[in-house]
Structure 1
Amino acid sequence: MTGIGIGRRAALLGAVAAPALMGRARAQGAPLVLGALPPLTGAGGPYGPAMLRAIQGVVDEANAAGGVRGRPIRLMAEDDQTNPDAGVRSARKLIDVDRVAAVMGTWASAVTTAVAPLCWENRVPLLTVSGADSITLLPHQGYIFRTQPNSRLQIATGTDFLARQGARRIFHLAAQSPFAQSSQDTMVERMRAAGGNVAGYIVYERDKTAFRTEVDAVLRSRPDTVFLNGYLPDVTILLRELFRAGFEGRRFTPAYAVNQNTFATLPNEVTNGVITWQPSPEVDSAVFRRLQTRFGNVEVDPYSAQTNDHATLAILAAAQAGDVAPEMLGTAIRDNIRRVSSGEGERVDNVTDGLRAIAAGRAVNFDGASGPVEFDERGDIRGTKFRYEAAEAGRFRVLEVR
């Protein structure tokens, strides 16, 4: 028996290992089966393998501690390919074939939107890092939990930062996505309040290999800032074309769209000065430092911190639920996630301490690597810090965390 089952694509990628369960975790009952659906390929491919690694680490730790009330935990992983159709096919396998009790780690908002109905119709909680406002507005019956701030909160804080930096005239280039229009609406509102404006707005198809029309529109509008609201492949092309066109204004983009891969692809003269922002993990916390140690020399990005918390929440909620019929386990996890992540219970920051406390009959309140994981009535995270960085000579310099 192994602690993880992986789909064919994940196996070919070598994204995860399959360690044998520790002896203490060998089945006294049927395994608790959890599903992971990160983007191992496609636009989210730079992040998915680490997200899955974080989930597997929590599962291994829980199994080493005896599992959930003596039941081993089995992780089944599939690659959503950052593609809604592939995500739906993979989710169907996890739900219909593997019979998972929860699905964790969807990244792209379009994938999460496509997968979500399968989850709530089958009473399987979905824990996601997707940000589109529309996701938690779906009629999900409480089965969606989002650790990523919604897009309105992200864009509002990002726009306020730009206003503090002196931006008064922004051009918004947005990849076609579920959060493009909501991002535009929020940015217009916040810039107007700051005495500025959004000078232009274009939604583009992100699979294009050139963006000359879009860049020409930027130059005609004479903005002081361009907001590149896209993904790594298309933002890389846009940065190159803006540089060649001689744009000298501020460039601002989500951190998932510019990372070390960008520095390996583009010369420093193209990336210098690019400002990124992202939800900030609790980098000074013990739980985050343990995750760093587990990852070795690999950077722990916010998504990996969040999926570390996804796995911990699902396991602790299953333990808190106690003995329930297999067909009701997903609903029981849904009903207990808030119970193990808020309230007056014993503060815990890892799955081992949480399982031990629950086994002793004590209430727990889990704080994760991504910060406190308290959810509102829609399933949105209640708040988080944001981290702003500037690219300098192939590295990032922190500008602000607040």
Structure 2
Amino acid sequence: MTQFTIDRRRLLAGTAALAGLSGLPGLALAQSSGPIRLGTLTPLTGSGGTYGPVMVKAVKAVVDEVNAAGGVLGRKVEVISEDDQTNPEAGVRAARKLIDVDKVSAIMGTWASTVTTAVAPLCWESKTFLTTVSGADSITLLPHQGFLIRTQPNTTLQGKKFGEFALQQGAKRVFVASPQTPFAKSTFEAIAEVVKASGGQAQLLIYDDKKPSYRSEVDEILRFKPDTIIMAGYAPDTSVLLKDLFRADYRGTKIAFGYGLNQKLLDSVPADTVEKTFVISPSPAEGSKAYERLVKLIGVASPDPYTTQIYDQVNLVLLAIALAGDASGTAIKDTIRKVSQAQGGVKIDNALDGLKAIAAKQAVDYDGASGPCDFDAIGDITDSKFRYEQVQGGKLTLVKIA
């Protein structure tokens, strides 16, 4: 039998050298040759069920493109999609599966703020990166240690826009009606600050979103004598509230959030109940190359804001993995801003071009279908345009984008 003697110093030196190289793409490939697994956690059912399926379609379309071009780090990308049912408990169960069973590096697209709030601790504890379209201010104030970004404007910014628009319509007495959500208080406070600064008054009512009628709540709202009512609920309860306001013969201005009043709701209620209602939502970057590319990719003429945002999220995650040479959640966390807001980087609007630029050792700066994807220190998007529409003849008609 031949005996081999291993010098201890040489062994340690070799081990250290390998450790130092572990961040390089080639070695990462050698260590992990299986697929890169990414998860989507969107509302395929429940109050947000209108949005989730198209969001997933956008993610899978991007990944299919990238896989057809050879994948990332020489590895195929696999998408595992779960339904959060627009419910925190279901969201937690689905997130645990994605993290513990599927071993995903990132979870993308959580929609309802209650779901994101429940899921976020699971992500940062497991070092799984989380990208969300939820707006509640409280989300990015969680101790997420950098394992979270959101492409949705926070509710303070959204509330400010609602308050300003209400004033532009001549509002003096603004009533906000909302179910109990993580963003109800912060949204109202932002609206009220703007309205009161102009000499107006504002009041808030929190209602039970499971009730079949809001007639008693409408009576309370009307006692305030509002000239403007802002509805901050989801589609099912907004539908009921609109009907009860119509029965009460309310003639003032009505404003709803885009997530609560969409074309599906318009098609399901009598036209008179919703006519002339205004709708405000964060605006996609219509006319941009990224937006046009998304439209062609998924075959949807006017993608909603959440679809444009998750499209940007998957592009950013893939680019971060490529730049890091590592598919871990920690690597995504450490690299995501280097591909989204690199000073002097090559302007990129899709993963394929970005992967080529990274391979050529170029810095990249991604701007997407939802707009510039620049994030502050706690993970909030720094700027966004908003889309203002009005229901006319049973259809949403554009008023302005600003």
Please, what TM-score do these two structures have when normalized by structure 2? Answer: 0.90
Residue of structure 2 equivalent to 1:139: 143
What is the distance in 1 between the residues matched to 2:298 and 2:98?
26
Cα offset, 1:162, TM superposition: 1.0
Q: What secondary structure does 2:256 align onto? A: strand
What is the distance in 1 between the residues matched to 2:63 and 2:124?
24
What is the distance in 2 between the residues matched to 1:278 and 1:261?
16
Q: Give the % identical residues.
A: 50
What is the distance in 1 between the residues matched to 2:33 and 2:347?
29
What is the distance in 1 between the residues matched to 2:376 and 2:283?
19
What is the distance in 2 between the residues matched to 1:367 and 1:174?
33
Cα offset, 1:184, TM superposition: 1.7
- Change in Cα spacing, 1:361 to 1:372, as seen in structure 2 (3 Å) is same
Post-superposition Cα deviations, 1:193-233, rounded to whole Å, max 9, x if no partner, equal: 122110x3210121111111111111211100111010000
What is the distance in 2 between the residues matched to 1:112 and 1:254?
19
- Change in Cα spacing, 1:298 to 1:205, as seen in structure 2 (3 Å) is farther
Which of residues 288, 291, 294 is equivalent to 2:294? 291
1:56 equivalent to 2:56? Answer: no
What is the distance in 2 between the residues matched to 1:59 and 1:194?
49
Q: What secondary structure does 2:42 align onto? A: coil
2:138 alignment partner AA: S
Residue of structure 1 equivalent to 2:221: 218
What is the distance in 2 between the residues matched to 1:103 and 1:363?
25
Residue of structure 2 equivalent to 1:184: 188
Q: What secondary structure does 2:259 align onto? A: helix
8 Å contact 1:28–1:70 — kept in the other structure? Answer: no
Alignment of 1:91-240 (within 5 A): 91-198=95-202, 200-240=203-243
Could you tell which deviates more after superposition, 339-348 or 145-154?
339-348
What is the distance in 2 between the residues matched to 1:272 and 1:115?
37
Post-superposition Cα deviations, 1:120-168, rounded to whole Å, max 9, x if no partner, equal: 0001110000000000000000011000000000011111111112111
Unaligned runs of 5+ in 2: 1-30
Residue of structure 1 equivalent to 2:33: 29
1:266 equivalent to 2:269? Answer: yes
Q: What secondary structure does 2:190 align onto? A: helix
Cα offset, 1:277, TM superposition: 0.4
Cα offset, 1:298, TM superposition: 5.1
What is the distance in 2 between the residues matched to 1:348 and 1:365?
6
8 Å contact 1:133–1:179 — kept in the other structure? Answer: yes
- Change in Cα spacing, 1:76 to 1:297, as seen in structure 2 (3 Å) is closer
Cα offset, 1:113, TM superposition: 0.1
Cα offset, 1:345, TM superposition: 1.0
What is the distance in 2 between the residues matched to 1:179 and 1:297?
30
Residue of structure 2 equivalent to 1:304: 307
Cα offset, 1:299, TM superposition: 3.2
8 Å contact 1:105–1:307 — kept in the other structure? Answer: yes
8 Å contact 1:82–1:111 — kept in the other structure? Answer: yes
2:338 alignment partner AA: R
Cα offset, 1:295, TM superposition: 2.9
What is the distance in 1 between the residues matched to 2:185 and 2:32?
51
1:63 alignment partner AA: N
Cα offset, 1:28, TM superposition: 8.8
1:286 alignment partner AA: K
Residue of structure 1 equivalent to 2:44: 40
What is the distance in 2 between the residues matched to 1:220 and 1:184?
19
Cα offset, 1:348, TM superposition: 0.7
Post-superposition Cα deviations, 1:14-50, rounded to whole Å, max 9, x if no partner, equal: xxxxxxxxxxxxx992111001000000010010101
Cα offset, 1:296, TM superposition: 2.3
Which aligned runs of 4 or more in structure 1 are off by greater than 4 angstroms?
none
Q: What secondary structure does 1:78 align onto? A: strand
- Change in Cα spacing, 1:28 to 1:127, as seen in structure 2 (3 Å) is closer
Cα offset, 1:64, TM superposition: 1.3
8 Å contact 2:54–2:307 — kept in the other structure? Answer: yes
Residue of structure 1 equivalent to 2:4: none
Residue of structure 1 equivalent to 2:334: 335
What is the distance in 2 between the residues matched to 1:295 and 1:69?
25
Q: What secondary structure does 1:270 align onto? A: helix
Cα offset, 1:367, TM superposition: 0.7
Post-superposition Cα deviations, 1:309-358, rounded to whole Å, max 9, x if no partner, equal: 01001100000101x4x6xx110011110000012211110110011111
Residue of structure 2 equivalent to 1:358: 358
What is the distance in 2 between the residues matched to 1:92 and 1:173?
34
What is the distance in 1 between the residues matched to 2:366 and 2:231?
35
Residue of structure 2 equivalent to 1:6: none
Which of residues 311, 316, 319 is equivalent to 1:313? 316
2:368 alignment partner AA: G
Unaligned runs of 5+ in 1: 1-26
What is the distance in 2 between the residues matched to 1:274 and 1:30?
51
Which of residues 249, 253, 256 is equivalent to 1:250? 253
8 Å contact 1:268–1:392 — kept in the other structure? Answer: no
Please, what TM-score do these two structures have when normalized by structure 1? Answer: 0.90
1:372 equivalent to 2:372? Answer: yes
